[in-house]
Structure 1
């Protein structure tokens, strides 16, 4: 019992330190996952902790289990609407992107390390795919609001590219150990089974789980366990049938997350904590596994590979893959830069070690060093690169919190919390006045919190700065209502700078707008609605922030409807032009 308790103590201590270390992540500008990794390395045999851990099987077990949980959580939070703008390009990056990146990097690695070409290609295949854990964590906690096309492309790619990476690694390991048994047909069949079975089982399993979640009446805490256990069943069953368990569990999460039910909110809140636990545990264990002394021996080779991967191999693969989809140059540059490597390459690097591939330890140490460099340099610059490459859009006012209150098996109320900012439109007004202005009879004020305590809603109650107001309102009005509670100066300035000084109706005729503002449009466009004209010029699904130039004037997509239709357009005038016609 002493040994077991000592193990529990050690595991709890490492996770406790990792969570406390997260409080300094934002101050240092370092990715949180890197701090988890650092805790494991400091506790390892080369650090002050001195813990000797070299069990690759346990590390693989923990890594795969954690990745399954992370992908399930990522799928739960992926909206199907993002497929409208990014499914096809992300699918290209998840297949061709991995192959192209690995091919270019493999040639470079073979030359740099002076090894057998199969070993060089294997190393490239290990680090050729982006990592879901790193991408989900960094993009969703970076503090920037990315262009939807860019964010959806990166997230869907990272959630779907594992099958191709696993296929390449498996095929190359087989080619190294049993070169006479490798065949193109066998590799092709492996790819078909990985993608086909992964997709089929994931969608069917997700549909079954979503139906169960909607029909069963369980204690609140059990819904998340139902989805977690179901997700792990889908993951393991797919792997046993030679499909991609990672793809299956990600798709299952997407299906469950997009079929809302009375239990969805409980599941998301619990899964958020489980995903963080999985990330922390996985990166701490991987940190324990590595021997920094051995890794430093290959640091210059790893640095050269990381530079080539980031600045040559990944950009070329992205450029070729996304060129047909009319991405702008700044979008291509950002997608290329945020090709984050994380736990997946390290987990894949363990396979050759366990299979007894010659020089497998070299592969592991170089791959781990590449991951460290990727998290340190690329991970720390995610928000900076977004601003520099201009792929972010202004953050819009939004509720502080959103809760769903289900009042029937198919009926729910949205409960929205807003904080009254000093100088906002709501300050000094009565709650019922604000509610009526926000949405008429569809909005109701149900609670007011002042100085941390519930405050009575009297007839003459006036809202004060820093009050929290809870409203029952349709979720589609959340953004409009939020504007009433935010101080408008900075928001209006940012909106005008990005979207333009005026808001125009996207259903207006392009010819009428041209006549009103002295613009010039093509003859064949004058009879088109603005949203149709913009869509034609963009030649791709529109997202908030897309721009169309009309001479010196610029039209910018301000808002999109849930069905993917442009619902508001901003007009930006040239400097000093005002409303004067040219």
Structure 2
């Protein structure tokens, strides 16, 4: 309104941007370019018609979007895949970010001629692997589970280190008398508070989703999303890492038995896409092409990108995963998959708001480095995984999900479960399987085809079972479906 733009015009532009963003995802796979790059391009193109230079608003939208994206990524994370890679992921999220930031800082000092504090600030901004970029690029790709889990856990947990380094450098630049020891202490406090509150809110969210009977099924996804926002807000209020807390709470929610599970997952996925489109378009609007694509920025951005991609990230990966059972091929892939995305651009708005000298140059070069990372690394990550033989067979996913519309008031749930090849009940007929009283197999999806269940239907590995059961039987049904065959007995037989 202050710029003479009516509310109707803003709503119209928002609708156009979202439609263009959604259609962009369709073309991104055909062009072999990550959709987030096209989102930024859309924003830059719209900048020719819309003037936007409010870094504060862009930062607020960016943080809100990251909360939603991390929440969606967390609930999709399988704890059984994540648990074995916690140590290497945390090593990459801490020591890896420090090493990457340090090498990039040295390069910036030599290339851009900044002072040491400003150079370290630049390195801190660009040092972390971006969750939005990693989740977007790896979604639907059957990368080796251990590697995919490592990247997702690293990108979901390394934001606190990047944010801490960025804020610490800004404080040291603007307040020369700042104590390094107090800054380091605040980092550990942020991590500790983030972990504790993330665990607490995750448990509370699971309890609330399962105990509170809402009148409308559509309220359950809203309720879950509200917990994500609440987790971030309260954690930040107590000076903890809100992003880390959101990611941890989401992992707990996603790996628990919760009411309206599929609705929550689908809603979160759609909302995450909407926020991702909005965030990258807004960040694209914040850039002025005539300032970004100058000879100096192009040359500096390319040089820093080469050092970041080919030197800083590989060195960080190799040093951070010493004696952690990753072979040479896996380390090469982890090095190449250190994608940069929204987080560096959002962090690059911090110096702008703090009026740091050279902040506009920092923002433009960071933006250009992110573009190169997404274009070069993001568009080739799958091909590299295939050449390194790190891609498994394509996993089938159900084309439909079933849920009870009245689940909020009914004492029953529709459970979906994918049968593993080594499950004890695989090869048995439904009539011979000791399902708990009151439970009923409603549908079986096999190779994208519906198999009407009868007593003589024999289960196969890869089948998707939809079982209607009383809530009190959920645990026993999960145990029955997930129980593995006794290999010793099988071999003797």
Cα deviation, residue 468, structure 1: 3.9
Contact kept in structure 2, 1:203 and 1:248, CA below 8 Å = yes
**Partner of residue 474, structure 2:** none
Residue 149 of structure 1, aligned match among 138, 141, 146: 146
Question: Match for residue 6 of structure 1?
Answer: 9
Superposition pairs for residues 360-379 of structure 1, below 5 Å? Answer: 360-379=359-378
Contact 1:345 1:367 in 2 (8 A): yes
Distance 1:247 1:14 in 2: 30
Tell me if structure 2 keeps the 8 A contact 1:150–1:335: yes
CA distance in structure 1 between the partners assigned to 2:383 and 2:486 by the alignment: 28
The CA distance in 2 between the partners of 1:564 and 1:245, in whole Å, is 38
Structure 1: runs of 5+ lacking an equivalent: 418-434, 450-462, 483-560, 569-582
Aligned position for 2:283: 286
The Cα shift of 1:89 comes to 0.4
Q: Does the CA contact (< 8 Å) of 1:415 and 1:472 recur in 2? A: no
Please identify the structure whose Cα radius of gyration is greater: 1
SS of residue matched to 2:322? helix
Q: Which residue of 2 aligns with 1:414?
A: 416
1:107 & 1:231 partners in 2: Cα distance?
A: 37
The superposition leaves residues 415-458 of structure 1 with CA deviations (integer Å, 9 ceiling, x where unpaired) of: 789xxxxxxxxxxxxxxxxx996744249885699xxxxxxxxx
Cross-structure match for 2:260: 263
Contact 1:416–1:470 (8 Å) recurs in 2: no
Partner residue in 1 for 2:186: 190
Shift of 1:263: 2.1
Per-residue Cα deviation, 1:536-581 (whole angstroms, up to 9, x for no partner): xxxxxxxxxxxxxxxxxxxxxxxxx97999989xxxxxxxxxxxxx
2:444/2:453 contact within 8 Å kept: no
What TM-score do you get using the length of structure 1 for normalisation? 0.72
Would you say the 8 A contact 1:398–1:479 is kept in 2?
no
1:486-540: CA deviations, max 9, x gaps? xxxxxxxxxxxxxxxxxxxxxxxxxxxxxxxxxxxxxxxxxxxxxxxxxxxxxxx
In structure 2, what is the equivalent of residue 498 of structure 1?
A: none
Cα distance, 1:209–1:378 mapped onto 2, change above 3 Å: same
Taking the aligned partners of 1:396 and 1:357, their CA distance within structure 2 comes to 49
Larger relative CO (CA 8 A, sep 6+): 1 or 2? 2
2:451 to 453, 469, 482: 469
Q: Which residue of 2 aligns with 1:125?
A: 124
Show the counterpart of 2:213. Answer: 217
Structure 2 counterpart SS, 1:324: coil
CA distance 1:334–1:439, change in 2 (3 Å) = farther
Greater share of strand: 1
Structure 2: stretches of 5+ with no match in the other structure: 420-424, 465-480, 489-493
| Alpha-carbon distance in structure 2 between the residues aligned to 1:276 and 1:235 | 19
Distance 1:160-1:564 versus aligned 2 partners, 3 A rule:
farther
1:381 aligns with 2:380: yes
Aligned-partner Cα distance in 1 for 2:57–2:452: 47
Contact 1:234–1:245 (8 Å) recurs in 2 = yes
Relative to the length of structure 2, the TM-score reads 0.85
Equivalents in 2 of 1:471, 1:103: separation in Å?
A: 60
